[in-house]
Structure 1
């Protein structure tokens, strides 16, 4: 490999969030070496730009997540190719800075986090996205305080990770909102204390939440990617100090259903990327804290299935049907 700061890594264990073992490094890579255990992150950290030096953001000026970018940041090229049915060699493009559904992959070094090699790979892989995003939203973005009240809209892996983070912070009441009542059993494992099924309510969800919490929750988290749900999350918080954190991916062109004057009631709303963790700077410490038992995150509770990589399409089917949280794929 010529120039650039990127890695060639052999995948030892893969999933939607993945962990890799470094196979080789390119020219200019100084903080990683063959044999290192790393967590790939979609929201990179170069460590040298103004964004990386700022404590106000976890975005990077160069390697921040960009769902529309399909090439390497270092040279706008690709590292994969395949021979098609016509016998032509065509490029295979990259995805979210990681491209981890392969036995071997190539990453920019800014998107690889070196972790303690003693940490169990099949658990730490969840820090690539799901757990770090949800737990970080509760810890870093909202800074959930002990005794506070929380509402989580959407109980997928990210929403349940928010619940886990709020539980660890000592929230007194954690309300889970989801149209799938089967999610509540798993939610209880993550500290969720109350469950609301919008389909079973005779009134808007925010009214139910206000009745349960004497005027609204301190923090709400929107994890569904639905703007109507976002509005319910916003108005379910207590006026004067309520904070809504947006985590869901919103694929439609619809705008937020909020009137500017509603912000004058003291409620606030903010977005969150990767749990506001600076990946390369902060994830290694979190891994060490988990290893020492200083932070007790229920990693096992998020792994609902394990299967060989050859059954990846079945893993996606389980995810789409809401029957799994995270499926570990093994080679």
Structure 2
């Protein structure tokens, strides 16, 4: 075959190859960043992306960006030194927050009485720990944690650097607890939670892209609790996590002790915005008689009316750690050594 004919045949074959590849590429979805796999329950209420300015499919309002989905953000990185633990044994978590030059951050603004808030939650949102780590001079943070159940966990570091003009950042990293894994379903929504003899009632709903008020009323033995004690600068601390990817919502208390208008119970009020429709888990920490207790709720945002708020059942029967006892989402150990029972 002559040289010219060979060149022409090669060019035709090359064009056919690239044409086929282009056609395949056009038929495939674009590559996107993976999130944690959702359960069959979560797929029924699959949340939309938390990207800023994205339109929510239910309300048409712009969604609010959520935190904790990235290990690096705004020039800061969560360096988790202990990404593995053994279920049923106390582990020592160690981590460092680094700036965009790789240097350990050693100065923070105090928010809610702490320089940094550390949250550990299981991927199925049935285990929750609010820890108070200590920081060494070199910027290394450490805290003990008990994880009764094996499986995947997410570690959240919520902080604001002391740098002028710095904004609040919530970073997240994965933690694995080894051992036999038994997946469990998230409790169905209800508007009351019972923990350690207390009953907490939730009034209010999460709405995609809208600021809404959540009121939680604490009672014991059928009587309103009117002498709640300050905890982290308020009469309650609320954390909200989205099921499926564990997006972290920033929830703000309405009022604080000593402001002349906020009563020490029975009601504790917060303002929150859901970044999308979907299923969420709310964790309320409140302090009474010197002990911190945690009530957990399942909430659905952007669904049918009447099915948007709820909780699990009594979290103390059987006793935590007993054979066959589920971990129902409360902090059932004094992980930071500062309390007993559900103390933090």
Sort the TM-score into its range (normalised by shorter chain).
under 0.3
What is the TM-score with the length of structure 2 in the denominator? 0.21
The structure where strand makes up a greater share of residues is 2
TM-score, normalized by length of structure 1? Answer: 0.21
**Is the radius of gyration larger for structure 1 or structure 2?**
2
Larger helix share, 1 or 2: 1
